[in-house]
Structure 1
Amino acid sequence: MIIYWFLFGVGSVLGGAGLTPFFDAPPTVAPQVALAPAPVVSAVPTAVPASEPDTTAARPPAPSTTANDREALRLPVPPRPQRVTDRSAPGLTLNTPTAFGARLGQIYGGVNFQHRIRYARWQDGVASGGAGLGDPSRWVGLDVTVTVLDTYTDFAEDKALSWKLHRQFGTRWALAVGHENMWHTSGTDGGSSRYAVASHVLLLPYDALSALVVSVGVGNDRFLPESRFQQREDGVNLFGSVAARVHPGMHIIANWTGQDLALGVSVTPFTQIPLVFTPALVDLTGTAGDGVRFSASMGMALTLW
């Protein structure tokens, strides 16, 4: 049961990249107020004593200072904020979905490794890639992910296709529904799971903990407790994740998969290269599987336009 480790461990990398402006949003610039036209003072002719020569006609008119005054009072045009969506950002989850996702022009991909799978002693890995469609801030976004399994045994013998439809509300909330492994070959063992999830970014006033990204959802199939999943029972179960931003390049992540607990760290070693590395320990409580296992994923998300 390895497929979902990549789909949401690496697929969430793009969600992390998309959240960068939410964490480090530039200050809002107040709209400029149009200056009212300065009053024009018309020259009032004055009487000239008869004993003195009339020099009024030869005197040039006083220069108008209206234009100069308006230019001096004009507010400077604020500089256009730089794009921050291309900056590297850590992932938001280990092995469950979040509601944030990609838009048209964004792609993602990577690999995942486990030192052993459940109830067996061999290593395995997956490779996957996907792209975003639509615009989740204005309408809806759609993530489409293709996964190649069995990279350590029969390479690429098993494959799967998943999707997630998501909508973002402002800069802090998002909702999504999705279908993991909507299509898959017969050799996969991760199930075919539908889910709905909500995510929220909570900003905090601490240098060592500047934000939390909380996701809570419900899903069927592999989100059920392990015994119910193995028996292919119907029903839904809760899952969730919390990503703590302890540094701009590091998130500490806890995941409840519906079956067991996973803890990991997601880091971005390079500021300008969107490469994300996420090691984790899974099946920590013993409610699923046959002991604690190590998993690691490495992924990259790119904004093409």
Structure 2
Amino acid sequence: MVRTGHLPFDFADYLYSLTGANWEVRELSGGNANFVVRATQARSTLNESPVAPPYFAKFPDVQFSQKRQVVEARALYLFKADPQLSNVLESNTRVIRIPSLLHHDEAQHVLVQSDLGSHPSLDAYLSSPTTTAYSAALAGHSLGRFLANLNHAYDSVPDALSPPSNIAAALANDDAEAVMQGVIANATRFIKEAGVHDWETLGVRALGHWKSRKRTTFCQGDIWFGTITVDDTAPNRVNEGGRSLVLKICDWEFAGPNHPAADIAQLGTLLWIHCSAYLSDAPLAIRRIFTSVIPIKVTYGAAAAKAGRLRRGVLRVLLPAF
């Protein structure tokens, strides 16, 4: 039996108590909030997402409610049990994967889910010199369509997301709301430090918008490069090079009813920031992303080719959502 040493929880011993079998445990990088490991046997692989400590795993001084793991477990369960969400997953099954819920121990804050494998993150995939413009567009199209389907999942039963519905109650997390308010406060400080004269007004408006937003659609809630990986070797969807393309989305801790633009705004902003490193006119670039008609001036050579791949990926993510 392999023990985890520096980790604050003995995952191997815990899994042995559940299954009666020995598991080899390896810590995974990239988890800011939780301690995450991959557990393997000769013929089985699990991806175990925490122990969720009452703080950010990588930032122990920052408190973070363990309710986040309950929300993730319930969200993954809903993708199997709720017709609206299971239909979304089924209709995108050729190109989208999410973890399957295997076990949740709320008392010990342990969540066991199926393993999505080791693949490049979305930004790494779009930036890779081996990724063609066609493949970038295909990844963007698949992700954009999934997010659009997810946001429209409850159009026929809108009351299902409104309090006091079961879904709204099951996925409510006031502590997560407080975390986002802290993010807005930090952003306001950055705006001030950048010399924006009306920083205070912008901060007040941003906070007011967040608190009063209408939560009318189902959102992933934390959609960014760290929660999306790209598998271009999986079966089902073939691209121009004869390889397949499947996007895998993890970390559903902030899932639930939210503003219709929440997911696409977060992802679109991060993609634009990533693109802007390779574009010579960032303001023009962002107009291009949303209108798809204004020409973009880009740097030449390898940077221009990379910008083209990124731009196609961004456009195909954003456009299906509108």
Report the TM-score, using the length of structure 2 for normalisation.
Answer: 0.23
User: When you count helix as a share of all residues, which structure comes out higher?
Assistant: 2
Report the TM-score, using the length of structure 1 for normalisation.
Answer: 0.24
User: When you count strand as a share of all residues, which structure comes out higher?
Assistant: 1
